[in-house]
Structure 1
């Protein structure tokens, strides 16, 4: 199935923040602070058994050919590149609607505008079974 990638808020450099952007950023900051308080309650070290269970739950890393590159404008105004799973037409769906800004360090910084750039890598060539 071919995904039709969407754009929002182009050109990114001229995007003006909306009330909804401000509201989303405030909500994300509150969520982030709550998560940080919860994580602070966890033990500081994990047993090897717990680490292995986490690895099994998370599964193997996603191969590069299943990722798509995006140019994102963050709430702070900085424009960055990021990758997402190729199956989504938008980079801000689900739990990936925010980033940590590598320029100013704002964490979380909601995505307010975006444009698709293309796949991270080409898929491997299909191999036909011998015979």
Structure 2
């Protein structure tokens, strides 16, 4: 990954990311201005963010479900990110671009990546408990069963001869 050479596609994706970021920034500024002018709107937004935060906390995943990725950003720095193990790569997991912690540049697209591995090893599968051994019948139960079979035997013989 250290030797990766940027492609035209990487330059195009970075430019798109920067343009999208600027558009979002302008929309956020506009929404913030509306919220400053309307306290009721600001309160609704605050409540919506609180609800989203609670919802996201309820989806906490176990360490063995989190894949770690080593990614190279457009700026050339290499960082580590994490995503749920069901994603095949960090870009499909929504990690299209990141803020680089080394140079501070915003919206640095991911140009290359490699998996590191799960955050933790999956727990050992637990063996299902074997069913209890069949209970031995008591003498009284065996005697009742023998008697019932003898009666059935006699009934069948009578039917054959009869």
Instruction: Return the TM-score normalized by structure 1.
Output: 0.76
The residue that corresponds to 1:50 in the other structure is 48
Superposed CA offset, 1:69-116 (max 9, x none): 111110000011111111011111152111111000111001111111
The residue that corresponds to 2:154 in the other structure is none
Q: Which has the larger radius of gyration?
A: 2
Query: Residue 128 of structure 1: CA displacement?
Result: 7.0
The residue that corresponds to 1:5 in the other structure is none
Structure 2 CA distance for aligned equivalents of residues 18 and 98 of structure 1: 16
Query: Residue 56 of structure 1: CA displacement?
Result: 4.7
* Higher-RCO chain (CA-CA 8 Å, sequence separation at least 6): 1
* Uncovered stretches (5+) of structure 1, i.e. residues with no partner: 1-11
The answer to which structure has the higher strand fraction is: 1
2:25 to 27, 30, 36: 36
The residue that corresponds to 2:114 in the other structure is 115
Structure 2 CA distance for aligned equivalents of residues 56 and 128 of structure 1: 35
Moved more, 85-94 or 74-83: 85-94
Computed over aligned residues only, the root mean square deviation of the Cα atoms, in angstroms, reads 2.5
Structure 2 CA distance for aligned equivalents of residues 72 and 49 of structure 1: 35
Instruction: Return the TM-score normalized by structure 2.
Output: 0.63
Change (3 A) 1:57 1:35: farther
The residue that corresponds to 2:157 in the other structure is none
The answer to which structure has the higher helix fraction is: 2
